[in-house]
Amino acid sequence: MADKEPVVDRPEDEEEASAAAAAAAGGEEEDTGAQVAPIVRLEEVAVTTGEEDEDVLLDMKAKLYRFDKEGNQWKERGTGTVKLLKHKENGKVRLVMRQAKTLKICANHLVASTTKMQEHAGSDKSCVWHAADFADGELKEEMFAIRFGSVENCKKFKDLVEEISESLAKTEGKETEEDSSAAGLLEKLSVTEKKSEEVATKEESTEAVKETDTKSAATSEVAGWLLDQEKCFASTTKMQEHAGSDKSCVWHAADFADGELKEEMFAIRFGSVENCKKFKDLVEEISESLAKTEGKETEEDSSAAGLLEKLSVTEKKSEEVATKEESTEAVKETDTKSAATSE
């Protein structure tokens, strides 16, 4: 019994500490069950590319180069995906290319009617063109060269761009014809305005106080009004924008195109927004001019009516004075006769 080691009672805390130290020495981690909340909470953000309202016409991998005028050499812009995107509303087509890894834009410009693709002299897989590019945040005239992995892809890209360019050229040709016809119409409108001013001047010069002259002036006014109505414009003509197109406008008029005067509602469409605005502004200017002219005529009619009223009052007063004088003379004559009889 003397050879046995004495039993020593150790506190429970020391036992737990030694157990934890042994577990740590063995590479085991103690699971405390605590949950740590993140310091910053990140929310999902919708990322837009700017291509949501466009349809993809072409999507190919390629390598893009830009010609450096100062260094007189070609410089690589990046390797990635080149796209031809057509806008769903206005129909415009733009060329966009992004680098493969960083998605940085290395080309961003519209395909115009003047865009001409040329074959590269050193490679049948490449083509060259000029464009007003906006990839760097400002509009700059650039010369690009693009290289594809195969001749077929290069030809497909070149043919599609040329097809779009030719289609735009035809559309612009039609718009030019429409602009010419619109210019002729505006010239006719100017002539109409001049004639309206001449008619208004003649009407002002033929006004008079007498009743016969007043009737003649009224007849001339009706004739001038019918003339304006046949040309579809009067002081009441109000142009309104068309809800479905900014190239169109709508108005009401008493039209005489079918040989009889009828109330009609018209809508007209131009080839461009600028021509539509020019037409609308000119018609409104003519209408306001006619309204001012009619306002002057109304004031002159009012003054003539006031003059006639004064003449009527003056004539009435003259008749009353004459009546009083006649009655006064009759009384005097009666008194004279009475005095003679009394004598």
Three-state secondary structure call for residue 26: coil
The two structure tokens encoding residue 315: 């004539």
Multiple choice CATH, 180-322, 1.20.120, 1.10.520, 2.30.29, 2.40.50: 2.30.29
Domains 54-149 and 180-322 share a fold: yes
259 φ/ψ sector (left φ>0, alpha ψ -120 to 50, else beta): left
CA pair distance 114, 91, nearest whole angstrom: 17
Multiple choice CATH, 54-149, 2.40.170.20, 3.30.420.10, 2.30.29.30, 2.40.50.140: 2.30.29.30
Return per-residue pLDDT of the chain as tens, 343 residues. Answer: 444 444 444 555 555 556 556 555 555 555 676 777 778 888 888 878 888 899 999 999 999 999 999 999 999 999 999 999 999 999 999 999 999 989 999 999 999 999 999 988 888 999 999 999 999 889 999 999 999 999 999 999 999 999 999 999 998 888 877 777 777 677 777 666 677 677 777 776 666 545 555 554 544 454 454 444 444 456 677 888 877 788 888 888 888 788 788 888 888 988 888 898 889 889 888 888 887 877 776 676 666 666 667 777 777 777 777 777 777 777 677 777 666 666 5
CA pair distance 266, 260, nearest whole angstrom: 16
Question: What letter does residue 36 receive in the DSSP assignment?
Answer: P
The two structure tokens encoding residue 204: 């002002």
Three-state secondary structure call for residue 124: coil
pTM, full prediction = 0.43
The two structure tokens encoding residue 157: 């890209």
The domain spans of the chain are 54-149, 180-322
